[in-house]
Structure formats: structure tokens, C-alpha cells
Amino acid sequence: MNKVFTSLTERFLLYLAYIPGLILAYLFFPVSAFAATPVATGLSDKPSLVSGDSLFGMMFSLVFILVVIFMIAWAARRFGGSAFKGNSALKIMAGISMGAREKVVLVQVGDQQLLLGVAPGRVQTLHVLDKPIDFNSTNSQGNSAFADRLKSVLNKSR
């Protein structure tokens, strides 16, 4: 079911990507330009290149297309990675880059944590931790120490 949902989401996002092009075609290529016989408009033969209506239409379409692009980007970021997230027993807890293409990654599998070395074409177990690292207590202590230090520096400047 997840793969079907993902493929439907991807297909929906691809269809959304066509909308700005269709709007541009509608705004910049009037239907009368494709007519077999020219349509009489009653205007002079030399229309002005820039008029208030055309500028308004162009600015409106530009803003509309930018809004649509940002909405598509938001939807892709919001729903695009949903196939990889979930209630999986495998989680990447932390990672650090050791070189251009090498990393050390801490992975939690169920209740066990593994320290893995990751390189192109190779993954190697470096260590199996006997006692799992609790990131909730470590991060809260580190953040509070930083917050206390920041408050003291701000109070000294006043």
C-alpha cells in the first residue's frame, strides 16, 4: 500500500508541475492567434507594446506561477519523504563525516545500537554498543548549558 500511495503522490506532483506551463500558454498565446481567419478587434493596426492590462496580467501570472511553484516545493518536501519515514525499527541516530566520502553512523536497530563505517561500496560494523546512548537526556543537558551561557552573556552586555 505504501508503494502505491507513493507512486500516486509522485504522479500527482508531476501533474501539478504542468499547471504553470498551461497557464502561461493560456495567457501569452490567445486562442484567436490560432484561428483560421483573423478576428477583427476594432483596434488600430499598431497595438502598443506595453499597456496597463498586459502588465497587470503578466504580473498576476508571474505571482501566481511563483505561488504554485512554492506550493509544489512545499508539498514535495512535506509528502515526498513519507515513504522512508514511519514506524520502522531501524533509525539513524547520528552521523559524522570523516572524509570526502566516508561517514561514521550510529544506527539503532530495535533496542541495540550499532556504530557503522560507511564508505563507497562498503559498510562495516565498527562497534556494537552495550549500553544504548539516550539522546533525549544528552540533548536537553547540552541545550540547557548553552541557554544558561547565552543568558549570562546577554545579561552582561546590558
* pLDDT (tens digit per residue) in 2-60: 455 556 667 777 777 777 777 776 666 665 555 556 555 555 555 556 666 777 788 88
Residue 8's pLDDT is what? 66
Question: How is the beta sheet containing 112-119 ordered, strand by strand?
Answer: 90-97, 103-109, 112-119, 122-129
3-state SS, residue 96: strand
Tens digits of residue pLDDT in 103-136: 999 999 888 999 999 999 999 999 998 888 887 7
Q: Across 63-102, where does the E strand assignment appear?
A: 90-97
Q: For residues 104-113, b (16+ Cβ closer than 10 Å) or e, as one string?
A: ebbbbeeeeb
3-state SS, residue 92: strand
Tens digits of residue pLDDT in 63-78: 999 999 999 888 887 7
pLDDT at 139 over 70: no
64's CB contacts (< 8 A; 6+ apart) are 23
Residue 91's pLDDT is what? 85
Residue 1's pLDDT is what? 46
Report pTM.
0.38
Cα–Cα distance between 69 and 13 in angstroms, integer?
11
